[in-house]
């Protein structure tokens, strides 16, 4: 009757909880995908950036190392122009041959006094350049680059140009001045493919578009596609200004991270569905557990009620047992006092004093209760002694005193089989033991004596000396305290002696006779 509605309710809650969890998880799943896409793009850009850094530095080094040839040629020309010396073709050829020294990617060197090409190395490398007027070149772009070289007095790089019979080249030019007057131009033609090969750019990695831009942003090498869609770039410092090497993935950034992103989104979506299902199952299970807990709680409450009633009954029984034990002990005390009327009230007064001493010492409540109870019956063994000896008014003989000393052992024998919550029998047995071993009946020393017995020993002596007896003069409390002080650490425990003196001298304790 109960299981069917509970089962249906559990299923409904499972479905509802799973749907709610999925609704909450889907935005998080989408945001996580965007975060991961950004992470992939950052890593991809860093990867391409590392590639461009290596290749860009290499390309810059390759170009600058060849431009050093042009600088060397300028040094040669400046040396001749500065002293007004003519340049001979033989001297130029020899010097240019030394500059070439087998460097790949160098096509030709030329000198153009007054802008007209006259010296060319290697000879015949480009016969069409001989006698060519660079300053008046009909091509606007070349004229503009020549004028820029004249004005800036720096190396100016032009190109790219188609080389004969094949290839792609660039031209580096620099103006030469005789004092402040233009003397002419020097030129260096570079073959670009070998330079790109040395820099590792002749065959870029698959799936990567690369482009090289000159100082003005014109496409010098590569594809225009590499300039679109936020490419990664690396600057290349050249004498003519800063060029730029750029790259981006073929097909764009989205295509570059599409596959790992789809894998991540698929995995996280599966985890989202699995999490939603687990939450739904947990919610359904919680419904079942809640009802079961309610049922068990009811049973537990009933059990606790029964247990409290049992504990109350047990407590009442313990109270009755304590009362019965108290009545029994009182009867024993009265029996002892009836047989020894001269010491009537001694055990009760000793018990009150022992309790006060134990309290002053800071003992636990349970230990204090045990010491007081033992003190109430510490002379119970005297019930077996003859009344004429107990009531004898004069001094006892040696044999009579030895008989009196047996009361400690007799008291122990009477109590040892009793099931008390405290070691009453042993305290009664040891209350005449002394710290130096001179006591009886066992001759125990120091810590061998129970603490309760050490407390009772002092209380017994002080009460006996401070309370009146009909058969002897009263020593009094002052002599009693002096006695235990003189025997402190010899017969009596120092801590017990100090506590006893404290309650009388500082706490104003009084024995009620």
Cβ atoms of 212 and 245 within 8 Å: the answer is yes
Weakest mean pLDDT among 92-101, 198-207, 357-366, 410-419 = 198-207
The neighbour count for residue 156, using CB atoms within 10 Å, is: 25
Length of the chain: 513
DSSP 8-class letter at 115 = T
Q: Where are the domains of the chain?
A: 3-253, 340-505
pLDDT at 171 exceeding the cut of 80: yes
Average the pLDDT over 463-481 and give the result.
79
Higher pLDDT, 125 or 223: 223
pLDDT at 89 exceeding the cut of 60: yes
Q: Confidence band (pLDDT; 50, 70, 90) for 16?
A: confident
Phi, psi of 441 (to 5 degrees): -95, -5
Rounded Cα distance between 472 and 483, Å, is: 17
Cβ atoms of 190 and 107 within 8 Å: the answer is yes
Indicate if 340-505 has the same CATH topology as 3-253.
no
Average the pLDDT over 182-200 and give the result.
89
The neighbour count for residue 224, using CB atoms within 10 Å, is: 9
Rounded Cα distance between 73 and 75, Å, is: 5
Rounded Cα distance between 75 and 482, Å, is: 124
Cβ atoms of 491 and 434 within 8 Å: the answer is yes
**Distance of alpha carbon 291 from the chain centroid:** 40
pLDDT at 241 exceeding the cut of 70: yes
DSSP 8-class letter at 396 = P
Q: Output the CA–CA distances (angstroms, integers) from residue 128 to 117, 131, 137, 387, in the order listed.
A: 10, 8, 13, 159
Average pLDDT, the chain: 84
What is the reported pLDDT for 270?
87
Query: 406 is written with which tokens?
Result: 């047996």
Nearest residue to 425 via CA among 450, 405, 460: 450
Q: What is the DSSP string of 335-361?
A: HHHHH-GGGTTHHHHHHHHHHHHHHHT
Higher pLDDT, 129 or 349: 349
106-121 pLDDT tens trace: 888 999 999 899 999 8
Nearest residue to 176 via CA among 107, 82, 92, 68: 82
What is the reported pLDDT for 183?
93
Q: Is-cis flag, bond preceding 396, omega within 30? A: no
Rounded Cα distance between 387 and 383, Å, is: 9
Rounded Cα distance between 276 and 166, Å, is: 67
pLDDT at 2 exceeding the cut of 50: no
pLDDT at 245 exceeding the cut of 50: yes
pLDDT at 344 exceeding the cut of 60: no
Q: Which residues pair with 248 in a beta bridge?
A: 209
- In words, the CATH class of domain 3-253 is alpha beta
**Distance of alpha carbon 114 from the chain centroid:** 78
H/E run at residue 177: strand 168-178
What angle in degrees, to the nearest 10, is found between the helix axes of 494-505 and 477-486?
150
Q: Confidence band (pLDDT; 50, 70, 90) for 125?
A: low
Higher pLDDT, 109 or 471: 109
What is the reported pLDDT for 400?
83
Weakest mean pLDDT among 41-50, 272-281, 325-334 = 325-334
What angle in degrees, to the nearest 10, is found between the helix axes of 346-360 and 365-376?
160
What is the reported pLDDT for 338?
54
Average the pLDDT over 60-65 and give the result.
89
H/E run at residue 373: helix 365-376
Domain 340-505 matching CATH 3.50.30.30: the answer reads no
What is the reported pLDDT for 354?
95
167: left (phi over 0), alpha (psi -120 to 50) or beta: left
pLDDT at 457 exceeding the cut of 90: yes
Phi, psi of 301 (to 5 degrees): -60, -40
């Amino acid at each position: 009757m109960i299981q069917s509605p509970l089962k249906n309710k559990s299923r409904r809650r499972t479905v509802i909880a799973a749907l709610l969890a999925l609704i909450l998880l889907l935005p998080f799943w989408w945001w996580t995908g965007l975060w991961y896409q950004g992470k992939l793009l950052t890593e991809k850009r860093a990867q391409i950036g590392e590639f461009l850094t290596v290749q860009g530095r290499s390309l810059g080094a390759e170009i600058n190392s060849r431009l050093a040839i042009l600088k060397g040629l300028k040094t040669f020309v400046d040396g001749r122009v500065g002293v007004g010396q003519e340049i001979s073709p033989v001297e130029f050829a020899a010097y240019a041959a030394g500059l070439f020294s087998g460097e790949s990617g160098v096509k030709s060197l030329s000198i153009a006094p007054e802008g007209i090409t006259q010296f060319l190395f290697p000879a015949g490398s480009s016969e069409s350049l001989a006698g060519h007027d660079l300053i008046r070149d009909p091509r606007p772009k070349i004229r503009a680059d020549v004028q820029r070289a004249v004005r800036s007095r720096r190396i100016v790089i032009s190109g790219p140009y188609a080389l004969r019979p094949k290839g792609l080249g660039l031209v580096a030019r620099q103006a030469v001045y005789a004092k402040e007057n233009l003397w002419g131009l020097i030129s260096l033609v570079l073959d670009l493919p070998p330079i790109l090969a040395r820099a590792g750019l002749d065959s870029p990695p698959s799936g990567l578009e690369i482009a090289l831009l000159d100082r003005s942003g014109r496409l010098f090498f590569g594809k225009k596609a590499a300039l679109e869609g936020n490419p990664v770039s690396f600057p290349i410092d050249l004498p003519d200004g800063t060029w730029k090497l750029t790259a981006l993935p073929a097909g764009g950034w989205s295509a570059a991270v599409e596959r790992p992103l789809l894998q991540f989104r698929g995995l996280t979506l599966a985890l989202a569905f699995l999490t939603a299902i687990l939450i739904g199952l947990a919610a359904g299970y919680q419904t079942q557990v809640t009802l079961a807990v309610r049922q068990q709680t009811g049973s537990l409450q009933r059990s606790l009620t029964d247990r409290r009633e049992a504990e109350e009954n047990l407590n009442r029984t313990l109270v009755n047992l304590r009362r019965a034990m108290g009545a029994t002990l009182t009867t024993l005390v009265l029996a002892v006092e009836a047989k020894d009327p001269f010491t009537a009230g001694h055990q009760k007064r000793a018990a009150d004093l022992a309790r006060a001493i134990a309290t002053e010492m800071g003992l636990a409540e349970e230990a204090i209760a045990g010491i007081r109870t033992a003190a109430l019956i510490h002379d119970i063994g005297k019930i077996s002694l003859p009344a004429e000896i107990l009531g004898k008014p004069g001094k006892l003989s040696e044999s009579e005193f030895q008989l009196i000393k047996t009361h400690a052992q007799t008291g122990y024998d009477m109590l040892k089989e009793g099931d008390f919550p405290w070691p009453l029998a042993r305290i009664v047995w040891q209350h005449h033991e002394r710290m130096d071993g001179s006591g009886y009946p066992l001759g125990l020393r120091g810590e061998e004596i129970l603490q309760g017995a050490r407390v009772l020993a002092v209380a017994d002596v002080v009460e006996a000396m401070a309370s009146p007896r009909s058969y002897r003069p009263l020593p009094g409390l002052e002599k009693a305290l002096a006695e235990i002080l003189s025997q402190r650490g010899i017969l009596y425990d120092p801590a017990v002696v100090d506590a006893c003196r404290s309650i009388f001298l500082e706490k104003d304790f009084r024995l009620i006779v």
